[in-house]
Amino acid sequence: MADILNQLNDKQRQAVEAVDGPVMVVAGAGSGKTRVLTYRVAHLLNQGIDPFNVLALTFTNKAAREMKARIVKLVGNADAKNVWMGTFHSIFARVLRSEASRIGYPSHFSIYDTDDSKRLIKSIVKELNLDDKVYATGYVLNRISSAKSALINATAYNNNEEILLQDKMAGKPNLGEIYKIYHNRCYRASAMDFDDLLLNTYFLLDKFTDVLLKYQRKFEFILVDEYQDTNRAQYMILKQLAANNENICVVGDDAQSIYAFRGANIQNILNFKHDYPDAQEFKLEQNYRSTKTIVKAANTIIVNNKDQIFKEIWTENEEGNLIQLVKATSDNEEGTLVANSIFETKMNNQLQNDAFAILYRTNAQSRAMEEALRRLNIPYRIYGGLSFYKRKEVKDLLAYFRLCINTKDEEALRRIINYPARGIGKTTQEKIIVAADQSGTSQWEIIENPNKYALNLNSGTLNRIAAFVTMIRSFTVQVKTKNAFELAKLIATSSGITKDLFEDKTPEGISRYENIEELLNAIKEFSEKEREKNISEEDEKNQEEASIRTLDEFMQDVALITDADVQDKDSTDKVSLMTVHAAKGLEFPYVFIVGMEENLFPSIQSLGSRADLEEERRLFYVALTRAEKKVTISFAENRYRWGNLTICEPSRFIDEIDRKYLEFPQRQRVKTVNKDSGSLKAAPGITKRNLKKINKSNFSVSTGSIEYDSDVIEKIFPGVEVEHARFGKGKVINVEGNGSNKKAAVFFKNVGQKQLLLKYAKLKILN
What is the tens place of the pLDDT at every residue in 611-654? 999 999 999 999 999 999 999 999 999 887 656 678 889 999 99
Give kind and range of the element (H or E) at residue 323.
strand 323-330
Of 35, 289, 346, 626, the catalytic one is 626
pLDDT for the residue numbered 675: 41
pLDDT for the residue numbered 571: 54
Contact partners, residue 549, CB within 8 Å, separation at least 6: 483, 484, 526, 527, 530, 531, 534
Which has the minimum average pLDDT: 33-47, 193-207, 289-303, 749-763? 749-763
pLDDT for the residue numbered 642: 59
Which has the minimum average pLDDT: 107-116, 487-496, 674-683? 674-683
Average pLDDT on 312-335 reads 93
Contact partners, residue 85, CB within 8 Å, separation at least 6: 41, 54, 55, 56, 57, 58, 64, 67, 68
Distance CA 396, CA 693 (A): 57
How far is residue 457 from each of residues 427, 445, 462, 463, 562, measured CA to CA in Å? 10, 16, 6, 10, 41
How far is residue 540 from each of residues 79, 309, 344, 384, 548, measured CA to CA in Å? 19, 55, 62, 46, 14
**Do the Cβ atoms of 672 and 337 come closer than 8 Å?**
no
Of 113, 167, 226, 612, the catalytic one is 226
Distance CA 331, CA 359 (A): 14
The bridge status of strand 221-224 relative to strand 588-593 is unpaired
pLDDT for the residue numbered 409: 94
**Do the Cβ atoms of 430 and 417 come closer than 8 Å?**
no
SS3 (DSSP) at 308: coil
Instruction: Give the closest residue to 135 by CA, choosing from 167, 103, 106.
Output: 167
pLDDT for the residue numbered 364: 80
212 has pLDDT over 90: yes
pLDDT for the residue numbered 491: 96
Give kind and range of the element (H or E) at residue 405.
helix 392-405
Query: What proportions of the chain, in percent to the nearest 5, are helix, strand and coil?
Result: 50, 15, 30
Average pLDDT on 331-355 reads 92
**Do the Cβ atoms of 595 and 128 come closer than 8 Å?**
no
The predicted-structure confidence for 500-515, as pLDDT tens digits, reads as follows 888 887 777 887 888 8
pLDDT for the residue numbered 743: 79
Beta bridge partners, 25, equal: 251, 282
667 has pLDDT over 50: no
Residue 660 Cα to chain centre, angstroms: 36
The predicted-structure confidence for 588-619, as pLDDT tens digits, reads as follows 999 999 999 999 999 988 888 899 999 999 99
33 is catalytic: yes
SS3 (DSSP) at 732: strand
Average pLDDT on 293-302 reads 96
**Neighbouring C-beta atoms of residue 129, cutoff 10 Å:** 6
Distance CA 655, CA 700 (A): 5
**Which of 220-234, 519-533, 569-583, 661-675 is the most confident on average?**
220-234
The predicted-structure confidence for 124-163, as pLDDT tens digits, reads as follows 999 999 999 999 998 999 999 999 999 999 999 999 999 9
Of 99, 195, 225, 253, the catalytic one is 225
Beta bridge partners, 191, equal: 110
pLDDT for the residue numbered 751: 73
365 is catalytic: no
The predicted-structure confidence for 438-470, as pLDDT tens digits, reads as follows 888 999 999 999 888 878 889 999 999 999 999
pLDDT for the residue numbered 65: 85
Average pLDDT on 731-753 reads 77
Instruction: Give the closest residue to 721 by CA, choosing from 711, 730, 709.
Output: 730
What does the mean pLDDT of the chain come to?
Answer: 86
226 is catalytic: yes
735 has pLDDT over 60: yes
Angle between helices 61-75 and 33-46 (to 10 degrees): 50
Of 11, 33, 185, 346, the catalytic one is 33
The predicted-structure confidence for 176-190, as pLDDT tens digits, reads as follows 999 999 999 999 999
Distance CA 489, CA 480 (A): 15
Structure-model confidence comparison of residues 398 and 687, the more confident one: 398
188 is catalytic: no
Of 60, 166, 228, 256, the catalytic one is 256
DSSP state, 220?
Answer: S
225 is catalytic: yes
Distance CA 315, CA 287 (A): 5
- What is the Cα Rg of the chain in Å? 28
Give kind and range of the element (H or E) at residue 690.
none
- With vertex at residue 1, the alpha carbon angle to CA 51 and CA 77, rounded to the nearest 5 degrees, is 40
pLDDT for the residue numbered 676: 41
Which has the minimum average pLDDT: 144-158, 208-222, 530-544? 530-544
* pLDDT band of 679, cuts 50, 70, 90: very low
